[in-house]
Structure 1
Amino acid sequence: MGFIAVTTRILIFMIAVTVLPGLPPYPTFPSRPFSVKPARDLEGVLALNQLLNNAEHLLENKLIAPESILVRGNATFVSTYGGKIIEITNNDQLRIVAKFGKPCRSSYDERECGRPLGMAFDTQGNNLIVAEPYSGIWQIQIKTGAKMLLVSENTIIDGGKVSRPLKTPNGVAVDKNGDIFWSDTVSDVTFDNALIGLLMNPSGRLLQHNRSTGKSRVLIDEVYGANGVALSKDEGFVLVGELGGQQIRRYYLKGPKAGTDDIFIDGLPGAVDNLVSDESGVWVALAIAVDKQNPSPLALLAPYPNVRRFCVRMMTILDLSFEFIYEKTGSLLALRISNFIGNLSSLKAFISDRGSILRLDWEGNIVAALFSDDGSANLISHAVQSGDYLLLGSPIHPWMGRVRLSQEVLQIVSTGSKNMGKLKPEVIVDTKKQKLISKQEL
């Protein structure tokens, strides 16, 4: 068969997969072109540095994919692969606070054995509020591990552009009254196929769960990969990070703009994961590094709905085929391939090795940026301050990272935007001592 004939058949097949009606998956919103604002230039406050280099790897091979981290006193709580919430106390003592799902057979079994993501301390008792993407939003008593399901999987959430079920709960935050703000990353697929969901049109949501009524409502719809959630210090607004949109959106809870939303900051140099707030600002973990020379594949494909539809349908057909093989034969290899197709972790081989964390003030200004280029701290899902250190979570690595913050960064963090611009390109990084040396000191 000649080259032209083969090429013609391939093109016919691709067109058929793209345009034939009735093929899965079935998106909430029709395919349309949209755009993602390009990443900002890595200059000024975003100039590359090595402040995350030489990160310590704590509890290696004891914490698998520590997605989210909470610190209270001498205790650190971590959500990990395998459905576990783990408490770490002095001398690195580990205690399993709670377990979701069944026992894991391997790293490709998360739909059955659980994958808790976002966590927050409750304000209505000694509890954790946890988003588990395969079952819902949970309340977990810290001492006993007793679990209470607050919003179950497939609960229909009314409001927004289209009423639809809960699908992939991810980030959480709790206000002083105990109400829960949480994100639903995509509406069309389960979390193990989140990449497929992101290649469709934006379908994520920011939601609020009222503890007194037990009802949830939609605050912002059509979020492009809804991820981390954080409340402002006065609880006047709530933020949600966009994994695919490389931006953070804001919903006003109080004041003259109450009930409306806008863009808090956009054009970020990476895919936004968890947000961690405190009095003076927000830590932003960028799970995937992006810049103008290395744009996000999701951003590049956003204006081309037909290309995205073809990719999504092909991935779904392959995924369903290997799921069918697994169900009929019990082949763990088929299960492993099915889990790999559409899983965000499958992007690992195609993304930059750079680690990236931003510090924002409450006006949406970037006041500090911390990077690594030695591979010791990358694929970062979470950054939370513990004394003079940052603890780093990851959706992939088998350890929790830790880096000491320089005095300059600590000062910026403590004072918010007052020292904005302190970290500039005219400083040189001493990677061994992890501190900044100005030109005047040389």
Structure 2
Amino acid sequence: MEKTLFHFRNGSLLQHLYLLVKTPMEKTLFHFRNGSLLLHPYLLVVVLALSVIMMDPFKWGPLGGRDFRPVRNDIAPYDDVMGGWPWDNRSRLGFGNLEFKDDIFGPESLEFDSLGRGPYAGLADGRVVRWMGKDAGWETFALVSRDWSEKECAQAKDSTTKKQWNVEPKCGRPLGLRFDKKSGDLYIADAYYGLLVVGPDGGLATPVATQAGGEPILFANDLDIHDNGSIFFTDTSNRYNRVDHFFIMLEGEATGRLLRYDPQTRTTHVVLKGLAFPNGVQLSQDQSYLLYTETTNCRIMKHMLMGPKAGSTEVVANLPGFPDNIRITESGDFWVAIDCCRTAAQEVFVRNPWLRSLYFRVPLPMNYLARMAGMRMYTMISLINGEGEILDVLDDEKGVVMKLVSEAGVRLEVLSRKGFPPTLDAWRLRLWLMILDLSAPT
């Protein structure tokens, strides 16, 4: 045994790396010369190549020169979630209709004003637009940046390209929209300009919250307005902005916050911090709690505002994919948009931060590496109640009509016949879906 495991030469002890390997393997992988252990030339090339990839000296990989700090995700076990999910076996979203195709680009959220006008939507070019009917089409309602210019910002064909992303910090990127029912003002969560407000007639929006708790609001995402006037909104990360949103999920970092702006005192307070990609936010019907989505951890959280549990937060639903916005229905249930789905291959990365750091330094495009890791997204929406019970699920697994959906909501519309007042059978429910360009970051 001593002869096979160790060699004594010149008073030095050389330990064999593979204790259970027999002599044929020793000859092919290792050479012992003058007390030195030499790797086989082919194996040496592999080791050196991996070392170069790990260091990525030329910054060719997707991580580039970023200070990448991957951590283990706080996410529910894959089998537990996927095995118990009520899948839509008919892919019913694939039977829907796509409206306003090629009219607007990168819409994130829909809103209607107190007069029923709309929808309003924030676009990839930095504008908030309003639908004025078939004859007039879409009109610009508001801007979030005083530096906005049509020449530089309003290039629809570039809405999902790096060219558009490069000008986003200047042009703005309005995401969540909500009208104050009392004042008629529109509040806007912009990814670069924080929380803003614009009057009922539109125009240039005014920033009202750009920092909280002594830290800048780096990535305002979505909002909702309490009956007392307070605005709850999410700040997705204090390390990455919207263009780099994928790295928030890839790293697993949890620096996001839930904030509250008080328009009476004009102050912004930190409600929760240490969140993993907080995204959509929605108050309950009785305002006793709010739900917010945590995209990285594929779940919906409930934060209590009233009652004996006020101030507490709990997981209300674990999801099979990455949630975006969440919106309430007339009955008090909630529609959540989900980029689906988690895969077994992705779970390996989720549980092994070091592997993410190695894999995404490979000098190949991010979308190619993502596909190799099984990251193929399709759209799903789910209806849940306040206790997290799944009431309905719709998807378009093959992307026949829908690609990626950022928001889903129900709107009651009135259909009148030839100008006559609407009757009971003339009411209908329409499910509104905000559909993002496939490659547009959210």
- Asked if TM exceeds 0.5, the reply is yes
Native 8 Å contact 1:276 1:284 kept in 2: yes
Question: Equivalent residues in 2 for 1:256-271 (5 A)?
Answer: 256-266=308-318, 268-271=319-322
CA distance in 1, matches of 2:83, 2:102: 34
Residues 1:285 and 2:309 are matched in the alignment: no
CA distance in 2, matches of 1:145, 1:296: 47
How many Å apart are 1:244 and its aligned residue?
1.4
Q: 2:353 aligns with which of 300, 305, 325?
A: 305
1:78 aligns with 121
- Give the letter for the 1:306 counterpart: W
Q: 1:358 aligns with which of 372, 376, 382?
A: 382
Question: Equivalent residues in 2 for 1:44-83 (5 A)?
Answer: 45-72=86-113, 73-83=116-126
The SS at the match of 1:301 is helix
Q: 1:126 aligns with which of 184, 206, 212?
A: 184
In structure 2, relative to structure 1, the CA distance for the partners of 1:295 and 1:33 (3 Å cut) is same
1:245 aligns with 297
CA distance in 1, matches of 2:51, 2:377: 38
In structure 2, relative to structure 1, the CA distance for the partners of 1:353 and 1:133 (3 Å cut) is closer
1:97 aligns with 141
Native 8 Å contact 2:88 2:395 kept in 1: no
2:215 aligns with 164
How many Å apart are 1:139 and its aligned residue?
0.5
Residues 1:183 and 2:234 are matched in the alignment: yes
How many Å apart are 1:224 and its aligned residue?
1.8
CA distance in 2, matches of 1:353, 1:302: 17
- Give the letter for the 2:45 counterpart: V
How many Å apart are 1:148 and its aligned residue?
1.1
CA distance in 2, matches of 1:52, 1:34: 30
RMSD: 3.3
The SS at the match of 2:388 is coil
1:220 aligns with 272
How many Å apart are 1:176 and its aligned residue?
1.0
- Give the letter for the 1:271 counterpart: F
Residues 1:229 and 2:281 are matched in the alignment: yes
In structure 2, relative to structure 1, the CA distance for the partners of 1:264 and 1:296 (3 Å cut) is farther
How many Å apart are 1:169 and its aligned residue?
0.8
CA-to-partner distance for each residue in 1:152-185, whole Å, 9 max, x for gaps? 2xx2x22xxxx63311110111111221111111
Residues 1:391 and 2:435 are matched in the alignment: no
Residues 1:204 and 2:262 are matched in the alignment: no
The more displaced of 33-42 and 132-141 is 33-42
CA distance in 1, matches of 2:104, 2:52: 45
CA distance in 1, matches of 2:117, 2:439: 22
- Give the letter for the 1:7 counterpart: V
In structure 2, relative to structure 1, the CA distance for the partners of 1:351 and 1:86 (3 Å cut) is farther
In structure 2, relative to structure 1, the CA distance for the partners of 1:309 and 1:204 (3 Å cut) is farther
5+ long unaligned stretches in structure 2: 1-39, 58-63, 413-428
2:34 aligns with none
Residues 1:34 and 2:73 are matched in the alignment: yes
In structure 2, relative to structure 1, the CA distance for the partners of 1:219 and 1:24 (3 Å cut) is farther
In structure 2, relative to structure 1, the CA distance for the partners of 1:207 and 1:289 (3 Å cut) is same
In structure 2, relative to structure 1, the CA distance for the partners of 1:9 and 1:45 (3 Å cut) is closer
In structure 2, relative to structure 1, the CA distance for the partners of 1:216 and 1:24 (3 Å cut) is farther
CA distance in 2, matches of 1:285, 1:296: 23
CA distance in 2, matches of 1:183, 1:347: 29
Native 8 Å contact 1:77 1:86 kept in 2: yes
CA distance in 2, matches of 1:397, 1:231: 29
Larger-Rg structure = 2
CA distance in 2, matches of 1:389, 1:349: 37
The SS at the match of 2:323 is strand
CA distance in 2, matches of 1:300, 1:71: 43
CA distance in 1, matches of 2:359, 2:261: 35
- Give the letter for the 2:123 counterpart: T
- Give the letter for the 1:34 counterpart: N
Native 8 Å contact 2:108 2:176 kept in 1: yes
How many Å apart are 1:383 and its aligned residue?
0.6
5+ long unaligned stretches in structure 1: 319-336, 400-442
CA distance in 2, matches of 1:59, 1:47: 26
CA distance in 2, matches of 1:369, 1:274: 15
Native 8 Å contact 2:345 2:374 kept in 1: no
In structure 2, relative to structure 1, the CA distance for the partners of 1:2 and 1:398 (3 Å cut) is closer
The SS at the match of 1:254 is coil
The SS at the match of 2:48 is helix
How many Å apart are 1:40 and its aligned residue?
2.6
In structure 2, relative to structure 1, the CA distance for the partners of 1:3 and 1:296 (3 Å cut) is closer
CA-to-partner distance for each residue in 1:172-205, whole Å, 9 max, x for gaps? 1111122111111122111101111222222222
CA distance in 2, matches of 1:384, 1:368: 13
CA distance in 1, matches of 2:432, 2:394: 13
The SS at the match of 1:130 is strand
In structure 2, relative to structure 1, the CA distance for the partners of 1:70 and 1:397 (3 Å cut) is farther
What TM-score results when the alignment is normalised by the length of structure 1?
0.72
How many Å apart are 1:229 and its aligned residue?
0.4
CA-to-partner distance for each residue in 1:349-393, whole Å, 9 max, x for gaps? 964464211001122211111122342013111111123221111
How many Å apart are 1:74 and its aligned residue?
4.1
The SS at the match of 1:56 is coil
CA-to-partner distance for each residue in 1:213-240, whole Å, 9 max, x for gaps? 2222222222221110000111111111
CA distance in 2, matches of 1:254, 1:381: 29
